[in-house]
């Protein structure tokens, strides 16, 4: 039998290139916005618009998959994402970047929902965590490589935008090696699945939103915080690369751990560990500038970025293969709602308590999530392993 890892190799190569092209924008856009003296609220709205686009994409992407299949839909979304990168380098203006952020998020939502539903459909429960871990390594590895594009040009110039778009386009070629199957037939409307998902697995429903509520401000405002500490563009790119490398390094071990134990207990541990480091950043403040911040970023990147896939794996253990597209889109929809609201609430808390309060904001979210999941574990302690059977759905 063909290895499940070998069967997704070509797709993962394309994912790596596509996310490398987009990864540099995580650092480049906030840094360039700061250099151009964009208002602080405009920078926060750029993050919210990005996740607002992802939310909209989560609603519409399943229809694209049903019409064209996973692979063609992935290629179309990726190509449109390249156009958004070029547009961002051409129109450097706050209102334009908010709109471009929305469109970029829309097409990236397509990429995430398409790839994750494709992988969930191929995964068995016993290896689901590891398969998602391998995808996550590819994903965050691509983001980390992309952030090093900051070394290839001046943030004030168009060069980095052009390189990012070119890399993304070239790496779409491995898609030609993939034979797509029939488009899936499950519901194309994630909005119709939200109540069903809440009833089926409250952990998956609630955690998707809370993880987005924390991750949205973390990814969009950490480069801004680093810049205000006095780190230059290269140092900030190194920090974001360390965060993404940590995200990649933790994925497979955490995935393997979640395959061996109750995924909910693994999620609780990740939330508590993340909250401890976030409180440490809040109290340490400017003393972390430079390499100490990079080292902490590596660890916190690994703990914060594995939570979504542990939660997603647990959700798909229960909901089964027949619902992968609708579930992937519904989880992304919930994640994006949280990620749209997160940068705005973090902005006002940072105004009130200082820039480092970003991490106090996120620590509170992770503590709340740990408490919620712990209560679910106490309610149904026998749910360590499930296989989507009807008798366990209401207890998850």
Structure tokens at 23: 């990864």
Return the pLDDT at 188.
46
**C-beta atoms surrounding 380 within 10 Å:** 15
Per-residue model confidence (pLDDT) at position 382: 55
Other beta carbons within 10 angstroms of residue 95's beta carbon come to: 10
The 10 Å Cβ neighbour count of residue 276 is 14
3-state class (DSSP) for residue 46: helix
Report angle CA 264, 266, 272 to the nearest 5 degrees.
105
C-alpha pair distances (Å), 159 with each of 52, 152, 189, 347: 28, 8, 40, 30
pLDDT < 50 positions in the chain: 1, 187-188, 190-192, 384-396
Distance CA 172, CA 32 (A): 27
Q: Each residue of 232-258: pLDDT tens digit?
A: 767 787 888 788 788 878 888 888 888
| Residue-level pLDDT at 74 | 74
Q: Where are the domains of the chain?
A: 8-173+186-393
Residue written as tokens 């398409």? 114
pLDDT at 272: 95
Q: Quick one: pLDDT at residue 266? A: 93
- Residue from 147, 152, 171, 172 nearest 162 by CA: 152
12-27 pLDDT, tens digit per residue, is 777 788 888 777 777 7
Classified by CATH at the fold level, domain 8-173+186-393 comes out as Growth Hormone; Chain: A; (1.20.1250)
pLDDT score at 5: 58
- Cβ neighbours, 10 Å, residue 210: 23
Among candidate residues 366, 134, 384, the one with its CA nearest the CA of residue 254: 134
- Pick the closest to residue 204 from 307, 315, 129, 310 (CA basis): 315
What DSSP letter does each residue of 360-375 carry, written as one string? Answer: HHHHHHHHHHHHHHHH
């Amino acid at each position: 039998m063909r290895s499940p890892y070998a069967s997704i190799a070509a797709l993962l190569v394309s994912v790596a290139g596509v996310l490398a092209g987009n990864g540099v924008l995580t650092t480049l856009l906030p840094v360039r916005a700061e250099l151009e003296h964009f208002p602080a609220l405009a920078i926060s709205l750029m993050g919210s618009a990005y996740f607002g686009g992802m939310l909209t994409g989560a609603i519409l992407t399943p229809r694209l998959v049903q019409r064209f299949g996973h692979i063609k839909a992935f290629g179309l979304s990726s190509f449109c994402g390249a156009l958004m990168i070029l547009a961002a380098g051409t129109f450097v203006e706050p209102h334009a970047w908010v709109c471009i952020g929305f469109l970029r998020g829309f097409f990236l939502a397509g990429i995430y929902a398409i790839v994750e539903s494709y992988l969930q459909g191929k995964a068995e429960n016993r290896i689901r965590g590891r398969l998602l871990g391998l995808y996550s390594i590819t994903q965050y590895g691509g983001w980390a490589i992309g952030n090093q594009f900051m070394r290839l040009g001046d943030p004030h110039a168009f060069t980095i935008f052009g390189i990012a778009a070119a890399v993304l386009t070239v790496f779409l070629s491995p898609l030609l090696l993939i034979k797509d199957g029939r488009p899936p037939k499950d519901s194309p409307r994630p909005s119709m699945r939200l109540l069903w998902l809440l009833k089926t697995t409250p952990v998956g429903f609630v955690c998707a939103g809370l993880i987005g509520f924390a991750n949205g401000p973390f990814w969009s405002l950490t480069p801004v915080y680093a810049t205000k500490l006095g780190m230059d563009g290269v140092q900030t790119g190194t920090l974001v690369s360390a965060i993404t490398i940590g995200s990649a390094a933790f994925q497979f071990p955490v995935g393997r751990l979640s395959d061996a134990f109750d995924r909910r207990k693994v999620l609780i541990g990740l939330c508590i560990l993340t909250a401890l480091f976030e409180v440490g950043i809040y109290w340490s403040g400017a003393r972390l500038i430079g390499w100490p911040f990079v080292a902490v970023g590596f660890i916190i990147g690994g703990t914060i970025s594995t939570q979504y896939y542990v939660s997603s794996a647990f959700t798909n253990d229960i909901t089964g293969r027949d619902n992968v597209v609708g579930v992937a889109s519904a989880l992304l929809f919930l994640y994006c709602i949280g990620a749209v609201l997160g940068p705005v609430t973090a902005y006002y808390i940072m105004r009130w308590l200082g820039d480092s309060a970003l991490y106090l904001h996120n620590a509170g979210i992770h503590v709340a999530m740990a408490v919620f999941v712990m209560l679910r574990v106490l309610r149904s302690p026998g749910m360590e392993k499930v296989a989507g059977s009807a008798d366990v759905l209401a207890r998850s």
